[in-house]
Structure 1
Amino acid sequence: MSLTTAFISELVWAANQADHLTAFEKRRLLDRAVVTIREMREQVGIAASETEADPVIDLQTTAAGIERQTGDQMREALLDAANMIRTLRIILDETE
């Protein structure tokens, strides 16, 4: 299992356990996801976007206000991050 696949699994697991994770653990996962997505986008050749339309900005906003997020919002953010990384991994695998 690659590191990317393991991280996707970790995000999905965390989404299913969101009510049992600490704010620190949730923030750390989202921050790692943002870094991973940005690095993978760079590898694919997707230009960085710092607009509000960028879903990565939503992940950062969620991480910054982690204490105000509901369990459903956290699950959605973690699953969105996992899906973005999975999609980018598929694109990277096709270009190799």
Structure 2
Amino acid sequence: MPAMATSSFITELTCAANETSKLTPHETARLLQQAAATIRNYRERVDYPETPANDRSQGDIVFDLMAMASAVELFSPEKISALLQEAASTIRVCKVLGETSKTTGNAP
């Protein structure tokens, strides 16, 4: 995802997190799935296993995003909002790591 598109998506996640009650379950699930895919894509491009953005253990944000997306109706707007905010934050970290690896030549 290009940097500008990533910035727009982070903004979209942040706005959605502040207005979860206005989202349909389908819209919410789509955002959660897209956030998971974005994080996965960054992880493939930037492999820093020691960073929180690359935690692949149980309870990992990608797992949480996909689990919530598959049963979005079961979660409160507050829980959805918190996870969308966490996803936006994680994507920001991944974006910075990706930009850092490009400038330092540490990209895989």
TM-score (norm 2): 0.81
Distance (Å, rounded) in 1 between the aligned partners of 2:96 and 2:14: 17
Any unmatched runs of 5+ in structure 2? 103-108
1:93 deviates by 1.1
1:41 is aligned to: 43
1:88 and 2:88 equivalent? Answer: no
Following the alignment from structure 1 to structure 2, what is the Cα–Cα distance between the partners of residues 41 and 55?
12
Q: Which residue of 2 aligns with 1:52?
A: 58
Letter in 2 for 1:87: V
Stretch moving more, 39-48 or 24-33: 39-48
Return the offset for 1:68.
0.7
Cα separation, 1, equivalents of 2:86 and 2:74: 18
Equivalent of 2:77 in 56, 71, 78: 71
Percent same amino acid among aligned pairs?
A: 33
Query: What root-mean-square deviation, in Å, do the aligned CA atoms of Structure 1 and Structure 2 show?
Result: 1.7
Cα displacement (A) at 1:46: 4.6
Select the residue among 28, 31, 55 that pairs with 2:30.
Answer: 28
Structure 1 gaps, min length 5 = none
TM-score, length-normalised on structure 1?
0.91
Aligned structure 1 segments of 4 or more residues deviating by more than 2 angstroms: 46-51
Comparing 50-59 and 61-70, the one that deviates more? 50-59
Computing the radius of gyration over CA atoms, which structure comes out larger, 1 or 2?
Answer: 2
